[in-house]
Amino acid sequence: MRRFDGRVVLLTAAGHGIGRACALRFAGEGARVAVSDLRAEAAEETAALCREAGATAWAGGADAGVPEEVNQLVSDATAALGPIDVLHNNAGVLIPGSALEQRIEDWDRTFAVNVRSVFVGARAVLPGMLERGAGVIVSTASSAGVIGDAGVAAYAASKGAVISFTRQLTAEYAGRGIRANCVCPGWIPTGFNDPIFGADPSLDEDQLVAATVPAGRQGSADEVAGAVAFLASDDASYVFGHALVIDGGLTVC
């Protein structure tokens, strides 16, 4: 399938993990891919992989939560590839801690990365999308934002905010051609969840997954990428404000 021929996709935090898998998925479906990451060298590595796959790709470094950097990123990506048709907000951080244990500074950092970046990214691309009367914003939330998750108070609350903001974008701009949705991954082995096990060495990752995930396994970054691509494509043309859970059944138990 080449559902994104002629379209420009901008991805944040795409230097590794889910972001990189999504960039490669979009590239494989014909998109011109703008790859961003806090680490410019990681963004360039992903862009190089996209080029090896035959796609047109551009890379830039930016802090997804800093408006000036994101505005410049959008300007530079547009100059290089054309107007942004799809934005994938993917920046995230996980700092363990219960409601009583979580430090205020860790709460603030979590919201600055996980929520502020989604707001900043949307504000940067919305003017152009609204002018053209079309655009898609897909953000990475989490299954923890759907049901909560003990021991990660700030993270779960922040991902719930991402889901809520996705619905807010829909309420405000669906009638003007903008589709906003989010994905809610469960256990995906990208290293992102390592702080949980570092904070509590008694936890065994395999046992935890076996006990909580009906499918009996973790998902893959490629499986998340397939869902992101679906939501960004015309196949999801009547899907607005949706939080698509990709968790092997974790949230049903």
Q: Is 54 left (phi over 0), alpha (psi -120 to 50) or beta?
A: left
Cα 70 to Cα 122: distance, rounded to the nearest angstrom: 10
- Distance between CA atoms of residues 25 and 29, nearest Å: 6
Spatial distance between the Cα atoms of 133 and 126, rounded to a whole number of angstroms: 10
Q: Which two tokens stand for residue 85?
A: 């048709």
Residue 245: helix, strand or coil by DSSP? strand
Q: Residue 97 has what DSSP assignment?
A: B
Residue of 193, 171, 194, 174 lying closest to 134 (CA atoms):
174
Residues in the chain: 253
Active site residue 155: yes
Nearest Cα to 13, choosing from 123, 109, 111, 114?
114
- C-alpha–C-alpha distance, residues 29 and 13, integer Å: 20
| Annotated catalytic residue, options 58, 155, 165, 187 | 155
Q: CA separation (Å) from 2 to 41, 46, 161, 229?
A: 28, 20, 32, 11
**Which residues are part of the catalytic machinery?**
155
